[in-house]
Structure 1
Amino acid sequence: MIWLFDLDNTLVGRDDAFAAWAATAVADAGRGPDDLAAIVAADQGGFGSKAALARELIDRLGWADDVPAGIERFRGGILEHVRAYDGVLFSLDVLRGAGHRVAVVTNGTSAQQRGKVARCGLETHVDAVVVSEEEGVAKPDPRIVEIALDRLGAADVDRHQVWMVGDAAHADVAVGRAAGTRTAWVSHGRSWDGPDRPDVVAATTREAIARAASPAVRSR
């Protein structure tokens, strides 16, 4: 089987990293809980405007940075704090040890996303890393899935043998559906409230892998 994994909040705790960095930045600036809450809200789980987030940080924390410098500052903070989720690297190794092929398919800048991959030591646990900025196409455009499959030497594989695993319904589940793969949504405790439930819904990535790899699901 072929496994395509989102990076942020699927393999690594991007939001946890941002929250940890933001808490330190707020404390260092002598600001309070309301400022921290506003900064985390402005981040929008990584999907908000980077410029708007930088302006929020500059205004609330009294930074002297301009917006581009502010963006680089919080991106650096994320890299300092990001970690792979517990047990995820082991799960990737188990998949590859069983002959499955594994790729990371992530939206974002090359420097930031590859920085997270390096920081968390993911390179030796996957067969390929595909970053949207490098390819000129991003999820949910299915062309990024085709690029990943080509990198894995699986361009002609039956899409029923391909899993797209991620936490973002609008990007990860959507790209899997557009590309004709099976989909596993990492809910982090959220409820699926849209139509067309993914093939697998699980609270964690490790649970999603276990369910997707189970004989009952594989035989569907």
Structure 2
Amino acid sequence: MIWLFDLDNTLVNRDAAFAAWAGEAVAGHGGTDADLAAIIAADDGGFSRKADLARVVIDRLGLPDDVPGTIELFRAGIRDHVQAYAGVLDTLDVLSGAGHAVGVVTNGNSAQQRGKIARCDVERHVDAIVVSEEEGVAKPDPRLVEIALERLGMADVDRRDVWMIGDAAHADVAVGRAAGTRTGWVSHGRAWSGGARPDVVAGTTRDVVALAASPAHRR
């Protein structure tokens, strides 16, 4: 079996890292709870345009009008605070120990994603890492999955033996479907609203893996 995982909010808690940085930034600049709420809302779980988010941060905190500098400010804050979810790296080791191939398929800026991967010590627990900026293609384009399978030496594998697992319906589930893999959605307590349900839905990454690896989903 081949397991492909999203990074942000799947293996590492990116949203908690952003919220921690934002809380410190707001407090440090004399902001209010309303400022914090506005900044977190503008982040949109990491899916907003970074320049738009930077503009909200600048306006709310009274920072110098430097969009690139502000983007690097919050990116650095995320890197400084990000942590892997409890037990998730152990789960990757269990999969590898059972002879399965494990990879990371992530959208995003290369330096940022590689920084999170390094801080959380993800790389030594997986067999391949694919970052969208480095490849010039992003989820939900299935070519990113194909690149990952090539890196794993599994380009010709039956796609029904591949799981794509992540928290974003429009990126992670969509790319798995486009590539013909099976799909697992990490809900974090949200209700599924993206049309046909993924093959597996659970609240945490570890629970998604447990369900996907269960006899009910074995081929």
Would you say same fold, with TM above 0.5? yes
SS in 2 for 1:201: strand
User: In the alignment, which residue of structure 1 is the partner of 2:6?
Assistant: 6
Distance of 1:3 and 1:212 partners within structure 2: 10
Read off the aligned partner of 1:78 and give its amino acid letter. Answer: I
User: In the alignment, which residue of structure 1 is the partner of 2:149?
Assistant: 149
SS in 1 for 2:163: strand
**Number of residue pairs the alignment of both structures matches:** 219
SS in 2 for 1:163: strand
User: In the alignment, which residue of structure 1 is the partner of 2:165?
Assistant: 165
User: In the alignment, which residue of structure 1 is the partner of 2:70?
Assistant: 70
Offset at 1:194? Answer: 2.8
Offset at 1:65? Answer: 4.9
Alignment check: 8 A CA contact 2:169 2:194 kept: no
Distance of 1:195 and 1:24 partners within structure 2: 38
User: In the alignment, which residue of structure 2 is the partner of 1:189?
Assistant: 189
SS in 2 for 1:15: helix
Distance of 2:53 and 2:176 partners within structure 1: 29
Q: What TM-score do you get using the length of structure 2 for normalisation?
A: 0.99
Read off the aligned partner of 1:58 and give its amino acid letter. Answer: I
1:28 equivalent in alignment to 2:35: no
Say what the alpha-carbon RMSD is for the aligned residues: 0.7
Offset at 1:193? Answer: 1.8
Runs of 4+, deviation exceeding 4 Å = none
Distance of 1:154 and 1:179 partners within structure 2: 14
Q: Which moved more, 1:205-214 or 1:65-74?
A: 65-74
User: In the alignment, which residue of structure 1 is the partner of 2:117?
Assistant: 117
Distance of 2:193 and 2:200 partners within structure 1: 14
Distance of 1:159 and 1:98 partners within structure 2: 19
What are the Cα deviations for residues 114-170 of structure 1, in whole angstroms up to 9, with x where unaligned?
000000000110001100000000000000000000000000001010000000000
Provide the identity percentage: 74
1:99 equivalent in alignment to 2:99: yes
SS in 1 for 2:91: helix
Q: What TM-score do you get using the length of structure 1 for normalisation?
A: 0.98
Distance of 1:118 and 1:35 partners within structure 2: 31
User: In the alignment, which residue of structure 1 is the partner of 2:217?
Assistant: 217
SS in 1 for 2:212: helix
Read off the aligned partner of 2:187 and give its amino acid letter. Answer: S
1:198 equivalent in alignment to 2:194: no
Distance of 1:72 and 1:173 partners within structure 2: 29
